[in-house]
Amino acid sequence: MNPDNLPQMLQTGFHLTLGATSFLIETLQDPVKREENLDKLKSDLGQLADELLEKGEMTEREARNFVDTIFSQPDERENAESESVSPKQSDATTDAPPESVVQPNVKLEIEELTAQMAALRTELENLRVKNSQH
């Protein structure tokens, strides 16, 4: 194993895992997708792996954009407020508590989703080990 390729291999594995998790969730939630996905499992696995890799890369991009949006909103809001408030208004608004842009339950939801992802990853690995033993 070439150590120069290790980060690339880990990233590819991560993307493949994200894609497989997304594939699994689609399969469990949508009956129409379930049939399509089961048919894909019976077909060319190389093509399926490519699709899962692509889906994982897209999921990572979407997650990064979502997190960036959440964390960039307070800064943008502060800039917009500071530009629109006149000096006399600013004295009146200093007593008011700042409004929270991020809902308090978002952090809890992210933690729950992270735990679900870890559980799915563990289950997927267990199934992979079980299948390799047979």
* Contact criterion met (CB below 8 Å) for 101 and 73: yes
40 Cβ contact list (under 8 Å, min separation 6): 48, 51
- Asked which of 27-41, 61-75, 98-112 is least confident by mean pLDDT, the reply is 98-112
The predicted pLDDT at position 82 comes to 56
Q: Give me the pLDDT at residue 81, please.
A: 55
Inform me whether the pLDDT recorded for 53 exceeds 80. Answer: yes
pTM of the model: 0.46
Q: How far apart are CA 129 and CA 127, in angstroms?
A: 5
What's residue 1's pLDDT?
A: 54
Q: Contact at 8 Å (CB) between 53 and 12?
A: yes
Confidence class for position 3, pLDDT limits 50, 70, 90: low
Q: What is the mean pLDDT of the chain?
A: 77
For the cut 60, the answer to whether the pLDDT of residue 127 exceeds it is yes
Residue 30 backbone phi and psi in degrees, to 5: -115, 115
pLDDT in tens, 70-118: 888 765 555 555 555 544 444 444 444 445 555 667 777 888 888 888 8
Give residue limits of the domains in the chain: 7-71+101-133
| Residue 78 pLDDT | 59
